[in-house]
Amino acid sequence: MVGKLDESLLRDVGPFRRLDRAQIREILDLATPRRFDEGATVFREGHDADRFYLLMDGVIRVVRTTAGGETVTALHIPSGQLFGIAQALRRETYPATALCARESLTLSWPMGLWDRFSARYDGFAEEGYKTVGTRVGEMNTRIVELATQQVEQRIAGTLLRLINQAGRKVEDGIEVGFPVTRQDISEMAGTTLHTVSRLLSAWEKQGIVSSRRRHITVTDPHRLVLIGEGR
């Protein structure tokens, strides 16, 4: 139950950072907790935006649908961030689908509370709009990459973003902290599955990455950075 969560667990989470214990308690008392299995859908693109969310644990995969009906992975959201904040965009529907890249725990609130929270709690609105700005910036970066970079650079950049967002140190490098397929990488890098498979196989032989079913580890981050810079 949310009521059993200790307020101190949320003190360093963006929207709560400037709030005192009593204010955090007020917000938690209005929240609905839910645990999602890997692959579960939190909400779907185009559906009424009736709730906004805080990801307590897990990773959210944000998926968009193209005009031709294809689904494309747009980005990943790590724990500790708001998502589904359509009200911050003054939208009445969700602009994308949110899927759980691994088992996830969320807190959510009715969308009607967004403006109330923004007005009442110091830093809440700022954090929300900062989140929007960061994600718009990520999408703009991807557009620039698609227009100006070679495919090797784009794939390297995609892997670096994944380990920056949700990497965890393992014995032989930094592992992407959730299941990810080569198809996911091809969508994020704007290339084909064949190209991703060919490059990852070559990079494995060179000791830059290692992979097993749905798990990728960057074993030489410095060399991957150089590839991403076109060197």
Q: What would the pLDDT profile of 163-200 be if each residue is shown by its tens digit? A: 887 788 988 899 988 888 888 888 888 888 999 999 99
Domain end call among 145, 180, 214: 145
With contact defined as beta carbons under 8 Å apart, do 64 and 97 qualify? yes
The reported pTM is 0.79
Domain end call among 110, 145, 180: 145
Q: Are residues 118 and 217 in the same domain?
A: no
Please tell me the predicted confidence (pLDDT) of residue 223: 93
Say which DSSP state 74 is in.
E
Distance of CA 90 to the CA centre of its chain: 21
Percent of the chain with pLDDT over 90: 40
**Is the pLDDT score of 2 beyond 50?**
no
Q: Are residues 127 and 163 in the same domain?
A: no
Q: Are residues 56 and 132 in the same domain?
A: yes
Distance CA 183, CA 196 (A): 8
Q: How many independent structural domains does the chain possess?
A: 2
Say which DSSP state 93 is in.
B
Domain end call among 145, 175, 210: 145
In Å, how far are 127, 159, 161, 186 from 189, measured between CA atoms?
28, 9, 11, 5
Q: Are residues 138 and 156 in the same domain?
A: no
Distance CA 84, CA 93 (A): 9
CATH code at position 115: 2.60.120.10
pLDDT interval class at 3 (50, 70, 90)? very low
Coil, strand or helix: which one is 67? coil
